[in-house]
Structure 1
Amino acid sequence: MDLYNDNERFISILSDYGFKVTFGNESDTRFLRRALQALIQSPATITQVEFIESEIPGLTRDSRSGVYDLACVDERGNQFIVEMQLSKYPDFIQRMKFYSFYRLNTLVRKGKYKFEGLPRIYCIGILAFDIFPHVGDYHNVAMLRNEKGELIDDQTTFITVELAKFKKRLANVQTDLDKLIYTMKATHKATKPKQFPQFWNEEWLEAAIKELDTRQMTPEKRMAYEMTLSANALAVENENRKIEEAEERREKLVKTETVTKALKRGKLTIEEIAEDSGVSVDFVLEIQRGLIKN
């Protein structure tokens, strides 16, 4: 999925930069508020959101910390956690539970370990790929229910959007949720005004799309965009280097095991073992010295 392309007019919302200037835009929350309302399927308008700490510190000295893409609270005290996942992540729902449970524990501690009057927590996951192959819907809302499907508790709600499952044609896009998902999937592919759907003129979507338009970037935003590209390129380079190093270690381990077995059999010369294993004579001799020493 190419989220950055110099030939495209709009930056993808799914990119790090795109997510930050739309969902994470602290100076203009029109898009975020309407998007959250659509994602949780609430009839009540969200009129205000406040961004809160999105980092989870290590709970013990040796435990790992964590960070989700966005965390905020609305005027009613409802808590929102939003996480974007573009790669395949089969255990994503476990990560969502970890985030939501940590937030719940934080709220309980603030209330001096009282459980009444807790605000609602909405843990929202937006995924490029499917994580529920047995579920046909692209938008799912999950709460605690019994075996009959009766609601037990809705204090914590898990919401997932699997973008790959959204197949609606433009003519069938009617709800705010569908408008949001269509925009997330299609914005960076549009280049000419005739490709823009009519609902992109709606205030909340227009505000977001304006932030993604490379033609309307200020020098400051252009710099921020270029820095994001540079950071992403460096991250990809580092990740590729880690993969290459891991592959080299695996290959060396396999060759070491092959040479070790050949030396223990004692039927081939050092030179023959090196040739058959695709390694140098020095490599074989080093392993031989280790076997003798041991």
Structure 2
Amino acid sequence: MCSEGLRERYVNPYTDFAFKLLFGTDLNKEVLIGFLNALFNGEQVIEDVTYLNTEHLGSREPERRAVFDVYCQNEKGEKILIEMQKGEQQFFKDRSIYYSTYPIREQAIKGEIWDYELKAVYIIGILNFTLDDVKSPQFYHEVKLMETSTHEVFYDKLTFVYLEMPKFHKTEQELETLFDKWMFVLKNLSRLMERPTALQERVFNRLFEAAEIAQFSPDKLYAYEESLKVYRDWNNVINTAIQKGEAMGEARGEARGRAEGRVEGELIKARNIARNLKNIGLPTSEIATVTGLPIDEINSL
């Protein structure tokens, strides 16, 4: 086992493995339902969800694939896509729009008359960074198609929710709503050594139980540690590039080039990790969760 002596009691939800473990498995479905109901704050009440395939291909072979973190539908057939973004991307908003086309297009009924009626689609981004072009101090952003002259919602079946986690600063004593508590636990889970007094609602029982590292099997612990390494290495690459870029001023373009080279190095490292996990017999789907590599690439290693 590759354990480096983890000191944390609970997992880091910003890692691919932990986020999908907590929110993307049938075993922890109640955790996802609790989070979504707190997010929607009574606008709708979700009683059940069905997990859907997270890997999607374009309509033609050459088209780019899309791999979602968590993808499900509620009992009304409405599609919900949740992405945990650990770092800023240059065209993040474009990516969100692109991803929204998949749950829209797959509703098309083939082989019979269809009137184009769609179920609602929700794209939820949990961001471990702040959006450069959003100056508001608010961390919660809900975006819909709007008539610009009246500011009225033009179409209410497509909703984007972005949560800028670095802008959430409430302490345990300042938590007021259930949604506040979810934001607090997402931001601070890996730093907690015990369950906070403010988070005693039943909905958090399963979350803290599933997040406790000491309860992991050896294989699950190994997979989590590998995912944690990928997360930490990725953060180090980005932070180093930013610091060097700022220090060099006019040489920022060069720093970006070095960062891209290091990211390529991380891709090589992820492939090596995938090979090791295959050697110990970990399922391909779990290897994909840990490394972020596509399943077909893992199979080819």
TM-score (norm 1): 0.72
- Contact 2:33–2:47, Cα closer than 8 Å, also in 1: yes
Partner residue, 2:53 = 53
User: Which amino acid in 2 is paired with 1:161?
Assistant: L
Q: 1:138 to 1:229 in 2, by over 3 A?
A: closer
- Corresponding residue for 1:71? 71
Kindly indicate whether the alpha-carbon contact (under 8 Å) linking 1:71 and 1:80 is maintained by their aligned counterparts in 2: yes
Distance 2:13 2:210 in 1: 10
Most deviating of 42-51 and 221-230: 221-230
Mapped to 1, the partners of 2:13 and 2:5 lie a distance apart of 13
Which residue of structure 2 lines up, in the alignment, with residue 18 of structure 1? 18
Show CA shifts across 1:56-103 (max 9, x none): 203333322121111000111111001111111242121111111221
Match of 2:297 in 1: none
Separation of aligned partners in 2, 1:119 and 1:149:
23
Deviations 1:189-208 (CA, angstroms, capped at 9, x unpaired): 112x3xx3223322222211
Cα gap change, 1:5/1:58 in structure 2, threshold over 3 Å: closer, same or farther?
Answer: farther
Match of 1:217 in 2: 216
Q: Which residues of 2 match residues 1-294 of structure 1 at below 5 A?
A: 6-109=6-109, 113-116=114-117, 118-131=118-131, 132-147=133-148, 148-191=150-193, 193=194, 196-226=195-225, 228-229=227-228, 243=261
Measured at CA, do residues 44 and 59 of structure 1 come closer, stay the same or move farther in structure 2, by a change above 3 Å?
closer
Change (3 A) 1:101 1:51: same
1:208-241 per-position Cα deviation (integer Å, ceiling 9, x unaligned):
121111122234533443454577689999x999
Choose between structure 1 and 2 for higher RCO, CA contacts under 8 A separated by at least 6 residues. Answer: 2
Deviation of residue 141 (structure 1)? 1.0
Q: Is the 8 A contact 2:28 2:210 kept in 1?
A: no
Post-superposition CA distance 1:143-182 (Å, at most 9, x none): 1111221111111100100001111222221212211110
Structure 1 residues 109, 64: closer, same or farther in 2, change over 3 A? same
Secondary structure at the aligned position of 2:28 is classed as coil
Distance across 1 between alignment mates of 2:24 and 2:264: 35
Deviations 1:91-125 (A, max 9, x none): 21211111112211111345854222x21100001
Give unpaired runs (5+ residues) of structure 1.
Answer: 248-294
Q: Compared with structure 1, are the counterparts of its residues 246 and 83 closer, same or farther at alpha carbon in structure 2 (3 Å cutoff)?
A: closer
The verdict on how the C-alpha distance between 1:37 and 1:123 changes in structure 2, with shifts beyond 3 A counting, is: same
Distance in 1, Cα, partners of 2:30 & 2:124: 18
How many equivalent pairs are there?
240
Q: Note if contact 1:40-1:159 (Cα within 8 Å) is conserved in structure 2.
A: no
Q: Give the Cα–Cα distance (whole angstroms) in 1 for the partners of residues 5 and 215 of structure 2.
A: 16
**Could you tell me the TM-score, scaled by structure 2's length?**
0.70
Larger deviation, residues 159-168 vs 84-93: 84-93
RMSD: 3.1
